[in-house]
A and B are shown apart, each in its own frame.
Chain A
């Protein structure tokens, strides 16, 4: 069953994400991917945090060849409307249907400060553009020779305040044609539930993001990212643990377990520690 069909199946969905390599050695990427072969889909990021890496499209194709259903992440930051539409068509030609549309972290927050950003289209416009291409026409009104078919996803940040504004954006993206959502990382399932209650009337399939905290240093890094909220209790557990990675796995699994009671799935961000994802999933079922 394809990811698009699974969205309607009622199954608790589990996705994760991988970063493309910074370079041309794909061995670590493929090794990590092997740990994720039983998941419902695997995202590949698009120059995340405004860093420069290999392209999402090439890495998605490698996943597809290995029987893993990919989700192409596509940001509005680096490409104009010509390049974005072209990328969507290219993805479809290669057999990639799932796309996750994001605005993309601003370059001033990344390793290429001062780089000219594009943002020719915003996320709502790009979601609608993907839907337009499916009708056989492009943004210039020209007819396509063969229309693509997508499963379009989008993102929201449940931890951003005011969260009502994020809830409104979710609704707006649903109206634009988003079929599923993956969110910024959630460490507090109860807090996420408050957000979820604001948007459940949309019937959107939302996979809240969960992140594996592997060390106190990594936790500090996470806290420096825009819109990441880590409750004090989680901070204390990581800082006080003899084995922070084991504690991080436990916290991640507990969060997923709590989310299982009302969420439609989860999106796991292990950030280089994907080999532990199967263990996290197993633990979330038995805790």
Chain B
């Protein structure tokens, strides 16, 4: 899912400075799972905006803000949505732009989109995939060097790993050492030596 992080309140207020009436649009998908668009977060945002002089016409959670079909179904006929000076979207950038595309209103993001994350538990996410469009996991033991190597090297490591850790972060495993251990376990090191991944 898309991992999001709430923007600072000051930035949100600054972005909404030209709007008096606001429609708060939450997202019932990834942002909700990140606890950035759940019932409590949406209510808190509404309260915060009202405390700062905004008139919140409605706070409503779209099933999935990045799905233009659902945005059209749930928002286009909503009078509060239509009347609001601006829409504050508690969603990822794909959701913000889906809403903007279907309504052409001023849509302000309340969240920053960080990465495609793998969930370990709520609040603990791993960046394992860069959605690069040319997956190499079949060749790298199911561990993505494009994402998990700090340099994104696809044909093997640099010389900076120290005891299996990355040269720029002693707490982070070197992706290529993980790949090496996996390929070694699978008896696939010969394949690694002879394998060449061309520039994407």
Task: Provide the bound-state CA to CA distance between A166 and B158, in Å.
Answer: 8
Q: A122 touching B167 by the CB < 8 A rule?
A: no
Render B152-181 as a binary contact track against A, CB cut-off 8 A, 1 for contact. 111111111111100111000000110010
Task: Provide the bound-state CA to CA distance between A121 and B158, in Å.
Answer: 13
Residues in A with CB closer than 8 Å to B180 are 162, 164-165, 168
In chain B, what residue has the closest Cβ to A77? B151
| Interface size range of chain A in the complex | 35 or more
Q: A162 touching B199 by the CB < 8 A rule?
A: no
Is the CB of A106 closer than 8 A to any CB of chain B? yes
Q: B152 touching A169 by the CB < 8 A rule?
A: no
Q: A106-B150, A160-B160 are in contact. Are A125 and B155 (CB under 8 A)?
A: yes
**Helix, strand, loop or mixed for chain A's interface?**
mixed
Total A-B residue contacts, Cβ distance less than 8 Å: 96
B residues 73-106 near A (Cβ < 8 Å) are none
Is the CB of A272 closer than 8 A to any CB of chain B? no
Is the CB of B189 closer than 8 A to any CB of chain A? yes
A85 to chain B minimum Cβ distance, whole angstroms, is 11
Render A18-43 as a binary contact track against B, CB cut-off 8 A, 1 for contact. 00000000000000000000000000
Interface centre among B150, B158, B196 (most CB of A within 10 A): B158
Is the CB of A149 closer than 8 A to any CB of chain B? no
Give chain A's interface residues, CB within 8 Å of chain B.
76-77, 81, 102-103, 105-106, 108-109, 117, 119-125, 128, 139, 155-157, 160-162, 164-166, 168-169, 171-172, 175-176, 184, 226-227
Contacts A103-B158, A121-B199, A169-B156 supplied; 15 other A-B pairs, CB < 8 Å: A105-B160, A106-B150, A122-B151, A123-B155, A123-B158, A124-B196, A125-B155, A125-B198, A161-B162, A161-B164, A168-B156, A168-B180, A175-B193, A175-B196, A227-B159
